[in-house]
Amino acid sequence: MARNNFPDRVFVTGTDSGIGKTTVSAILMAGLPNSGYWKPVQSGTEDVTDSQWVRRMTGLPETRFYPETYRLKAPLPPHASAAMENVTIDLEKFWVPYLGSLERLIVEGVGGVMVPLNEQHFVLDLMKRLNYPVILVCRNGRGAINHTLLTLEQLRNQGLNILGVVLNGPPIASNRQAIERYGKVQVMAELPVLETINPHTLARAYKDHFHLE
Ligand SMILES: Nc1ncnc2c1ncn2[C@@H]1O[C@H](COP(=O)(O)OP(=O)(O)OP(=O)(O)O)[C@@H](O)[C@H]1O
Ligand SMILES: [Mg+2]
């Protein structure tokens, strides 16, 4: 993918939890020079956080990583883990990070777009507030078309700009074509399972699999 085709800020979301958002973010960090990573809400801090994982796997310096706005201990949906700490997630607290000497910013969401942040707001509302072009990560298997089209419709209803879809996992014939046709969207990558994850394989995955027309 040509570097200059890539917007300076993107929001990486998914059709589900554990779908590959952090993996795709790490690939973008490794493949696009001088990028920063921001996970605005980390729900679950006992294990490796997404920010720590991206840092470890890419080997990039701490200066490329923005601190989370909310770090919540329990690995639950954010509204629930916040409640356990008597915290209410406030959309006003999400400031737009200053890029400084960095060229671009990769923002990773939490779960899918309809994950609640508080009594009124969902991840989708945070996405609207930031208003960055969206990369949607989907599992490339049975159900991919349905999950992808549902999420795309919700994103479009809210006026968000979709940069492209990443189909993650062993390809299923015709999924890509159907998603592009019915979803009126570009599949920017069909990402295979990476046998090993390190700075080299991540940068290679970007080069080999990501294309933006
Ligand atoms: N293409 C891939 N190749 C190898 N491993 C992958 C790939 N995609 C995802 N994984 C692995 O699957 C697991 C879940 O992926 P990942 O953490 O990227 O999902 P996520 O959408 O960020 O999850 P969360 O909702 O917890 O933030 C991780 O262990 C990750 O390393
Ligand atoms: Mg993640």
Q: What local confidence, expressed as pLDDT, does residue 173 receive?
A: 81
Q: Model confidence at 183, in pLDDT bands (50, 70, 90)?
A: very high
- Is 21 among the catalytic positions? no
**What residues does each domain of the chain span?**
3-209
Of all atoms in ligand 1, which is nearest to the CA of residue 109? 27
Per-residue pLDDT at 4:
62
Ligand 1 atom with least separation from CA of 14: 21
Which has the higher per-residue pLDDT, 95 or 185?
Answer: 185
- Interval 2-49: pLDDT, tens: 556 799 999 999 999 999 999 999 999 999 999 999 999 999 999 999
For ligand 1, the distance from its centroid to the CA atom of residue 17, given in whole angstroms, is 9
pTM above threshold 0.85: yes
Sheet of strand 104-108, all strands in order from the earlier edge strand to the far edge: 65-66, 35-38, 104-108, 9-14, 134-139, 162-168, 187-191
**pLDDT reading at 102 higher than 90:** yes
Query: Ion ligand 2 — residues with CB under 5 Å?
Result: 21-22, 50
Determine the topology of domain 3-209 in CATH. Answer: Rossmann fold (3.40.50)
The catalytically annotated residue of 39, 73, 93, 128 is 39
Strand partners, 39: none
